[in-house]
Structure 1
Amino acid sequence: MTFRRFVFLDPDGGSGGGWLHAVVEAPTGVFYQQQYGGTACQQGQVEGFLVPLSAPDQLAALRELFERHFRGAGTWNRTWTDDERDWLREPVEAIGYWACDGVAEEPHLLRLDESRIREADEAWVPVITPDGPAMLVWCNSD
């Protein structure tokens, strides 16, 4: 029998909204589920492992982009302008991610995964970490 677990991130919205995580894609048997896309209320799922991140200024910038500029209505499958892509890339690529090989820990910065930019939406942004591809997730605004 295959091990499978499903974890819905912040199912009741009671976390207070200040969290930010990367879910690194890996065959773990654990699937993280997330409502994203503002009022579009998309449902996403990614198998992997969760890495908590601390970047309050970058989270505020991401919220400004998605909640104010895009009006919290979702951007799934959007054709991003160069300016919007730059606006997204700037806070994402300033988020620190600590990678550990079991011996030493080393800080790195995330990178926006531009090959999957069409998947980018509020609270659901594809990124590259030192551990591989991931989804950057936070509390959806709706």
Structure 2
Amino acid sequence: MDELAHVFLNPAGNQGTGVVVVIQAPTGVLYAAQVAGHGNEERVVEGFALPIFNADYLQALKRFFGRYNGNLPSHLPPYEWWEGSDLQELAEIVSCIPLWSTSRNEDQPAFLEFDQLRLEELTEGWIPVRTVYGAGILIHQNSD
């Protein structure tokens, strides 16, 4: 098998990634990011990346995850560390982020949806979402 293209978002750690949605699809391109606060995990997802060009969304996500000071609730089963009110707040932030449905003939406004069925993937800088194009990962700059 040929090696897939590997794109590490912000490899030097000093540029910031803003907010990017990677729609999960068999594209042959892997996107990697350092996530999980002080946990310093590297995660990888295959798909196509769509940048979100609005700094307000990044600031809202930084405020939300900033309350944990880089020491996030566990993303391992049974996921009991994420409080329901926190998940609801995160869902509200994510639901404000537009990702239009576009085609050659028509463009329709649409928004991201936090995918709470994939809580095992949730951590700072890596949020599972549903989009008009299918499953995706919302990637944003990690706080550490």
User: If the length of structure 1 is used for normalisation, what is the TM-score?
Assistant: 0.90
- Structure-2 residue corresponding to 1:19: 18
3-state SS of 1:109 partner: coil
User: Does the Cα contact within 8 Å between 1:59 and 1:91 map onto a contact in 2?
Assistant: no
- Structure-2 residue corresponding to 1:7: 7
- Structure-1 residue corresponding to 2:55: 56
* 1:50 Cα offset (Å): 0.1
- Structure 2: state its 5+ residue gaps: none
**Structure 2 counterpart of 1:35, one-letter code:** Q
* 1:18 Cα offset (Å): 6.1
3-state SS of 1:127 partner: strand
Q: Deviations over 1:51-80 (max 9, x none)?
A: 01123223212111212x211123333422
Q: Deviations over 1:20-58 (max 9, x none)?
A: 000000000100011101111011100000001123223
3-state SS of 2:125 partner: coil
* 1:19 Cα offset (Å): 1.1
Q: 2:128 aligns with which of 126, 129, 142?
A: 126
**Structure 2 counterpart of 1:13, one-letter code:** G
- Structure 1: state its 5+ residue gaps: none
Alignment root-mean-square deviation, CA: 1.6
User: Does the Cα contact within 8 Å between 2:19 and 2:57 map onto a contact in 1?
Assistant: no
3-state SS of 2:33 partner: strand
Count of aligned pairs between the two proteins = 140
- Structure-1 residue corresponding to 2:34: 35
User: If the length of structure 2 is used for normalisation, what is the TM-score?
Assistant: 0.89
